[in-house]
Amino acid sequence: MSRYIARRLLIMIPLLFGITLLSFAVIHLAPGSPTDLQTDLNPKASAEAKERLRALYDLDKPFHVQYFLWLKKILVLDLGTSFSPDRRPVSGKILERLPVTISINLLSMILIFAAAIPIGVLSAVHQNSLFDKITGVFVFIGFAMPTFWLALLLMILFGIHLGWLPISGIRSINHEYLPLVDSWIDLAKHLVLPVLLSAFGGLAGLSRYMRSNMLEVIRQDYITTARAKGLSETTVICRHALRNALLPVITILGLSVPGLIGGSVIFETIFAIPGMGQLFYMSAMARDYPVIMGILLIGAVLTLLGNLLADISYALADPRIRVSR
C-alpha cells in the first residue's frame, strides 16, 4: 500500500509543475498588461511611473525569468501581494475565504451522496418502474438546467414570495446579537439555497451513474448465486450488490471536485457569499493578477488533492488496484 501511495505521489510532481506553468502562461500570454488597469485609470501616471510599476512586479523581465522568479516564491508559499488598494498578501486573502468555500462544497458533496446513492439504487432495482421514470426525467432536466437560473427561481419563490429564506450573504446583519442557537439557525437558513443548488448538477450525474453501475452489478453471476442460495432480496441488494456498485463512485468523488470549486464562482456571486469564488470574480473584474494566479493555482491543487484522495481510498477499498498498478 505504501508503495502504491509513493508511486501515486510521484506522478503528482510533473502535474504540479505543469499546473504552475499553465497558470503562469494563461495570465502572461493573454493580451493586455496586468498593470494596464491601474495606470490607464490614473491620468497622472507617466511613462516612467508605468515602467517602475512593471519593474516592481518583474514584468519587464523575459517570460522564463519571470516564471522562475514566481516559482521560487510559491515554493515558499509566497503568492505575492494583491493589486487592490489594501495591498495585502494574496495567501492571507485566499486563506480567510477558503473555509467558507470548502465547507459549502463539503456540505453539498455530502448531500449529493446521501441522495444520489439511494435514488440510483432504487431506480436500478425497480428498473422501468414509475419511480425510475420520474427520476429519469429529473436527471435529464438536471443535466440541462442552468443552475444560476434555478437559483433565481428559488430566490423568487423562497426568498420573495414565501419569505422563508434569506437570499444574500451567510449571516444576518444582527447575527452578533443573537443567542447562540439562533445564530446557528440563522447560518443554516443562509446556507440552504447555496448548498442545495451547488449539489443539484452533481446529484443528477451521480444518480444516473449509480443506476447504471447497479444495473450492471445485479446481472453478475455472483448475484444470481446469492439469490439461488436463498438469501432475502434485501440482503442480496444491500450486502452483495451495493458494495460492488459503490466502488467506482469513489472515483466520481475525486472527479467532481473541479466542478464544485468552479461552480462556487457562480453561487458565491449570486448569493453574495464571501468565499474564494466571489474573491476570484472580483479579482478578475479588477485584473488583480496576483490574486487571480493564486486562486487558479489553489483551485488546481485542490483538484489534484481530490483525485489523490479518491485514488488512495479506491486502493484501500479494492486490493486489485494496488496490486495490479
Partner 1 sequence: MGKGTGQGLWTDFRRRFAGNRLALAGSVVVLLLFLVSFLAPVIAPHDPGAIDLGKVLSPPSGDHLLGTDQLGRDVLSRMIWGSRISLKVGFVATGIAIVIGTLLGALSGYYGGFIDGLIMRLVDVMLCFPTFFLILAVIAFLEPSIWNIMAIIGLTGWMGITRLVRADFITLREREFVQAARVIGAGDLRIILVHMLPNAMASVLVAATLGIAGAILTESALSFLGIGVQPPTPSWGNMLTAGKDNIDIAWWLSVFPGLAILVTVLGFNLLGEGIRDSLDPRLRGRD
Name 262's Cβ contacts closer than 8 Å, sequence gap at least 6. Answer: 299
Give me the residues that bind partner 1 (CB under 8 A), please: 14-15, 18-19, 21-23, 26-27, 30-32, 34, 140-141, 143-146, 148-150, 152-153, 155-156, 160, 208-209, 212, 215, 258-259, 261-263, 265-266, 269-270, 280-281, 283-285, 287, 289, 292-293, 295-296, 299-300, 303-304
DSSP 8-state assignment for residue 96 = T
Q: Measure the CA–CA gap between 47 and 43, rounded to whole angstroms.
A: 11
Q: From the CB of 278, what's the least distance to partner 1, in Å? A: 11
- Shortest distance, CB of residue 203 to partner 1, whole angstroms? 15
232 to each of 25, 216, 218, 223, 245, how far by Cα in Å?
Answer: 59, 20, 14, 12, 19
Residue 227 C-beta: closest distance to partner 1, Å: 23
> Which C-beta is closer to partner 1: that of 258 or that of 274?
258
Nearer to partner 1, 226 or 246 (CB): 246
Three-state SS for the chain is CHHHHHHHHHHHHHHHHHHHHHHHHHHHHCCCCCCHHHHHCCCCCCHHHHHHHHHHCCCCCCHHHHHHHHHHHHHCCCCCECCCCCCCEHHHHHHCCHHHHHHHHHHHHHHHHHHHHHHHHHHHHCCCCHHHHHHHHHHHHHHHCCHHHHHHHHHHHHHHHCCCCCCCCCCCCCHHHCCHHHHHHHHHHHHHHHHHHHHHHHHHHHHHHHHHHHHHHCCCHHHHHHHHCCCCHHHHHHHHHHHHHHCCHHHHHHHHHHHHHHHHHHHHHHCCCCCHHHHHHHHHHCCCHHHHHHHHHHHHHHHHHHHHHHHHHHHHHCHHHHHHC
Smaller CB separation from partner 1, 38 or 183: 38
> Cβ of residue 115: shortest distance to partner 1, in angstroms?
18
Nearest-approach distance from CB 122 to partner 1, in angstroms = 16
Q: Which is nearer to partner 1, 32 or 230 (CB)?
A: 32
In the complex, the smallest distance separating the C-beta of residue 37 from partner 1, rounded to whole angstroms, is: 9
Query: CA-CA distance, 52 to 58, in Å (whole number)?
Result: 10
CB nearer partner 1, residue 226 or residue 249: 249
Q: Give the nearer residue to partner 1 in terms of CB position, either 210 or 237.
A: 210
Whole-number minimum distance, CB 280 to partner 1, in Å? 6
Q: Based on CB atoms, which residue is closest to partner 1, 142 or 242?
A: 142
Pick the closer one to partner 1 by CB: 9 or 141. Answer: 141
> What is the Cα–Cα distance from 196 to 270, expressed in whole angstroms?
14
Task: Tell me the closest approach of the beta carbon of residue 133 to partner 1, in angstroms.
Answer: 12
Q: CB 158 → partner 1: shortest distance, Å?
A: 12
| Cβ closest to partner 1, residue 231 vs residue 266 | 266
